[in-house]
Structure 1
Amino acid sequence: MPVIERTAQLDPGTREQNLLAYKQIRDRVADAQHLSVHGAPERSVAKHRARGKLPARERIDALLDVQSPFFEIGQLAGFEVYEEQLPSAGLVTGVGLIRGSLCAIFANDATVKGGTYYPLTVKKQLRLQSVARRLRLPCVYLVDSGGVFLPMQDEIFPDEHHFGEMFKNIAEMSADGIVQIAAVMGSCTAGGAYIPAMCDETVIVRGTGTVYLGGPQLVKAATGVDVEPQELGGADVHGVISGVVDHIANDDIEALSMIADIVARGDRREVRAPSRSPRPPLHSPESLDTVIPASSKTPIVARDVLAHLLDASELVEYRANYGRTIVCGTGHIEGYTVGVIMNDGVLFSEDSLKAANFVELCSQRDIPLLFLHNVNGFMVGKQYEAEGIAKHGAKLVNAVACARVPKLSIVIGGSYGAGNLAMCGRSIGPDFMAVWPNAKTTVVGSEQAASVMALMKIESARTRGTPLTEEEIEEIKRPIREGYDRQGESVYVASRLWVDAIVDPVDTRSWVSLALSMLPRNHGTTRFGVFRM
């Protein structure tokens, strides 16, 4: 198999500046990750433990098989989004092995706002449910929630992709034979009570677990009757009298053991083995800093990056001499076969046709696709429009959207506008999507956005007969540029669940291989839409 030869690296001076800049970016990401995992108020955590309850992440650790990885989705969700911090949006979600079976796990974090659902909490739960449905993963809900965060009910309750959709998903997945299991490990209030009530099988923890449509306060307000939580909806009520739950556990650990036993009784959803033995790249991923600029405005040499990511640095390139600003080819990552599509410049018509054909080939051969974004978009100008770049670009978007092989998408530099769509951005439906810490993604680059907005104001001022000075033009551009730069940075993007994770370049091979191990060879038969010829 052909070996990729590195062609360039940053000169020593640039490399030193780059390492410093990249360290600052990594530190920003690390701070966000730390607060997302450990940011719950100490007082809330202490109160939680005093009740004999394990924190959400410890529950997951106790539930998973020993040495099972946890493929977390949306760790940074909620970071710096609301007026108050909402670590991991109050819900820990991901995929891991329980008794040898891949399962989607949802764990409310009651130490964060009582585990109540904010808009991003709902979005995060729906995101993993969509993954579980597509991959047919058993769903395990570790419930400990006060329900909807009432001050924001208009952003959580009424609409089609709001709170109610999670119950619709539970019903539909159960009907489709995708097992739904719940453990009531704390409060399960109001609409949240329907999670355990709708699941196939449910466990409740005596003394801490409660299920009720209206809590003690609501009962008092509605009827004037005082009632204790356990008396209203505890384990003895629902495990002995109402039949809302199926099993009673004495503590968290026993409940998690019961959940594992329930999972073990069903069909195992096993991981997929690699097609060959893994081989390390000839160039270590740890030295990627020598070829990756910290700034997304600086070009990244595609083949140099691939030399650090692919097994044995080997790539069978497709049409290497045609459409030269996009690299397509097959290789392996940790032994898993992948079809790689990576930008090496702006997209022209030839690049679109080449990549669309490559997607067709991979779809026909059940080869998973890995998209590595670093693209400003499609080439613009009179000549290119006349050549039909719009219809050629549409062919690529069509092919990517319709391909039913596994699709992974990673923004490693910039990813802007229609280039993001062509490279399987979030809206096109990759199975999983990540960004590198240095990455940027917006509808256009910050400088282009600032220039377009400034030109509009310049033209308006010229029409009025009051032309703008250079200083006034810069005053128009600066806030637009700064806003786009902030909204495009990796932490901002991840905190809003526009991607599933921020992945460091060093960890990219592990993230890709773990994702591929969970994905089937295909998601059904590929049928493409009409290609405009």
Structure 2
Amino acid sequence: MTTLRSVIDRESAEYRAAQETMISKLADLDEELAGALAGGGEKKIERHRRRGKLLARERIELLIDEDSAFLELCPLAGYGSDFQVGASVVTGIGVVEGVECMIVANDPTVRGGTSNPWTLRKTLRANDIALQNRLPVIGMVESGGADLPTQKEVFIPGGRMFRDLTRLSAAGIPTIARVFGNSTAGGAYVPGMSDHVVMIENQSKVFLGGPPLVKMATGEESDDESLGGAAMHARQSGLADYYAKDEPDAIRLGRRIVSRLNWRKAGPDPVAEPTPPRFDPDELLGIVPGDLKIPFDPREVIARVVDDSDFDEFKPEYGTSLCTGWARINGYPIGILANAQGVLFSAEAQKATQFIQLANRSNTPLLFLHNTTGYMVGKEYEQNGIIKHGAMMINAVSNSTVPHISILLGASYGAGHYGMCGRAYDPRFLFAWPSAKSAVMGAAQLAGVISMVSNAAAQARGSAVDPDADAAMRAAIENQIEEQSVPAFLSGMLYDDGVIDPRDTRTILGLCLSAIHNAPVEGTTDFGVFRM
């Protein structure tokens, strides 16, 4: 039997404490997400509605197929910055006429939908996901262009947004722009570089320079409609391919465009019918302890995520701090690497390397479940080759070509974050549980290292060490690292694609795997030199 067993005791004090901590973190997360949902606030929303316009998420809801899911991505972008949480744009994957599409919708209630540095990063991330996974892109455009006070951070890198549209088109991935309001200055190139363009009568405005700028530059008198209105672009410039009467009509036309794409997935179909896990996904709330120094068994997570809780473990008696094995999620094959006891030793690194090679041989996507403090340090481990073995694992992750998905469950520290396919290693998707933390090392360890280095430097200068000042410095550093290691902060930096409720893990993985299979799923035999 390969069905996983569970030893979770929902009545135990440990389980209840972990559950309460997770529920508290989820409540905090809901507060932050509410900020993104609120957009520019009640006054801006009311003004938007008085103009007869729908909100960004209402437009998305009308666009996607009825009762289908919308996987919103990076909703906390900009958290901890001077900008509105959400970064004035909504991005995510939704099903339109049976086709999974990347949807990018400006939120015009937030500073007119202008693009600040976080808007740009979030949009570029959406483009990367679309290109990697071969997803048609639907832009729901209503933006005043760059947020001018931040132009030094937006203008130069912002050119990539237009480059991405042309590269998507060149790759045969359709791009559709529906213009709901202003698309001015550089933003005019969004419809200009899209394959299909829908504009709305008396609402869409697309021009490189508005009437005031034209007046200053050329002395010419003009108005919005003659300069860049939908009627002009539909009848004279030819920029508009479709001329809609209102927003619902534009959304209808957008759906019709998708229905005529004759889009087909290029990846393999699921190999089996989905089978629910045998254990209650609600129990995922109590698996990760509030104190990440306390280990937990990732098999308890796997048992509540994979089909029928069925898991063929690979090398279960070797390198036991890393659990590896084969399963299915929503009928799709998956290879799983999950940290079991936090620390990665040489055996774990070698085991992971072989497993990643096997997944590439069988064209099987990989799922990384993080809870690692990194690779083991110490004289014995250095002498036994921990560097070359860790490098071997990172080499395998770096050069693997099957799709990767990462989920940070607990700790994700040091080079262990790299070996488990952190953001820098381009997983197709990366999510975090509210319990997760990620940094170069744990806060206490980092503060201790800085303290020792600082004290050694003081002694070398012949200065006395002040214990009180040292303690205060350590406390300040620990607090800073704790603040910068939590999921909301990291998600705000776009180091993940969202902080998710553990109970939604299987659903989100299923949506991601379905999206991934729009593109071919192909492994490789080409890896760098493995130092033996």
Tell me which interval the TM-score lies in, with the shorter structure as reference length. over 0.9
Shift of 1:485: 0.7
1:460 equivalent to 2:425? Answer no
Shift of 1:14: 3.6
Aligned to 1:170: 165
Per mean C-alpha deviation after superposition, the further-off stretch among 189-198 and 62-71 is 62-71
The answer to whether the Cα contact below 8 Å between 2:404 and 2:429 also exists between their aligned partners in 1 is yes
**Unmatched 5+ residue regions in structure 2?**
none
Aligned to 2:152: 154
Report the 3-state secondary structure (helix = DSSP H, G, I; strand = E; otherwise coil) of the residue aligned with 1:204. Answer: strand
Map 1:44-443 onto structure 2 (within 5 A): 44-82=44-82, 84=83, 86-158=84-156, 162-223=157-218, 227-270=222-265, 273-345=269-341, 346-443=343-440
1:35 equivalent to 2:30? Answer no
1: CA distance between counterparts of 2:470 and 2:11?
35
The TM-score, its normalising length taken from structure 1, stands at 0.95
Distance 1:449 1:522, change over 3 A: farther
The answer to whether the Cα contact below 8 Å between 1:220 and 1:226 also exists between their aligned partners in 2 is yes
Shift of 1:530: 1.9
* Post-superposition CA distance 1:240-280 (Å, at most 9, x none): 12222222111111111111111111122459753223333
Shift of 1:214: 1.0
2: CA distance between counterparts of 1:522 and 1:383?
44
1:506 equivalent to 2:503? Answer yes
The answer to whether the Cα contact below 8 Å between 2:395 and 2:530 also exists between their aligned partners in 1 is yes
2: CA distance between counterparts of 1:195 and 1:306?
42
1: CA distance between counterparts of 2:175 and 2:279?
44
The answer to whether the Cα contact below 8 Å between 2:362 and 2:523 also exists between their aligned partners in 1 is no
2: CA distance between counterparts of 1:310 and 1:278?
9
Shift of 1:74: 1.0
Report the 3-state secondary structure (helix = DSSP H, G, I; strand = E; otherwise coil) of the residue aligned with 2:356. Answer: helix
* Post-superposition CA distance 1:343-380 (Å, at most 9, x none): 01200111001011011111111111110000000001
2: CA distance between counterparts of 1:163 and 1:290?
43
The answer to whether the Cα contact below 8 Å between 2:365 and 2:521 also exists between their aligned partners in 1 is no
1: CA distance between counterparts of 2:196 and 2:332?
36
Paired AA for residue 530 in structure 1: V
Report the 3-state secondary structure (helix = DSSP H, G, I; strand = E; otherwise coil) of the residue aligned with 1:453. Answer: helix
Aligned to 1:4: 4
1: CA distance between counterparts of 2:44 and 2:416?
45
Per mean C-alpha deviation after superposition, the further-off stretch among 214-223 and 311-320 is 214-223
Per mean C-alpha deviation after superposition, the further-off stretch among 510-519 and 6-15 is 6-15
The answer to whether the Cα contact below 8 Å between 2:179 and 2:200 also exists between their aligned partners in 1 is yes
Distance 1:522 1:477, change over 3 A: farther
Report the 3-state secondary structure (helix = DSSP H, G, I; strand = E; otherwise coil) of the residue aligned with 2:412. Answer: strand
2: CA distance between counterparts of 1:335 and 1:254?
37
1: CA distance between counterparts of 2:3 and 2:392?
30
1: CA distance between counterparts of 2:212 and 2:477?
48
Report the 3-state secondary structure (helix = DSSP H, G, I; strand = E; otherwise coil) of the residue aligned with 2:529. Answer: coil
Structure 1 consecutive aligned stretches of length 4 or more whose deviation exceeds 6 Å? none
Aligned residues: 528
Distance 1:124 1:311, change over 3 A: same
1: CA distance between counterparts of 2:47 and 2:471?
53
Paired AA for residue 196 in structure 1: P
Report the 3-state secondary structure (helix = DSSP H, G, I; strand = E; otherwise coil) of the residue aligned with 2:254. Answer: helix
2: CA distance between counterparts of 1:285 and 1:479?
38
Report the 3-state secondary structure (helix = DSSP H, G, I; strand = E; otherwise coil) of the residue aligned with 1:207. Answer: coil
Distance 1:422 1:491, change over 3 A: same
RMSD of aligned C-alpha atoms? 1.8
Shift of 1:305: 2.5
* Post-superposition CA distance 1:78-100 (Å, at most 9, x none): 22322x4x241111111111111
2: CA distance between counterparts of 1:409 and 1:286?
21
Paired AA for residue 527 in structure 2: F
Per mean C-alpha deviation after superposition, the further-off stretch among 272-281 and 337-346 is 272-281
Shift of 1:225: 5.1
The answer to whether the Cα contact below 8 Å between 1:72 and 1:93 also exists between their aligned partners in 2 is yes
The answer to whether the Cα contact below 8 Å between 1:9 and 1:290 also exists between their aligned partners in 2 is no
Shift of 1:5: 2.6
Query: What percentage of residue pairs aligned between the two structures are identical?
Result: 39
Distance 1:133 1:179, change over 3 A: same
Distance 1:225 1:87, change over 3 A: farther
Paired AA for residue 310 in structure 1: V
Aligned to 2:530: 531
The answer to whether the Cα contact below 8 Å between 2:359 and 2:523 also exists between their aligned partners in 1 is no
Shift of 1:283: 2.3
* Post-superposition CA distance 1:171-217 (Å, at most 9, x none): 12212221111111100010000010111121111111100111233
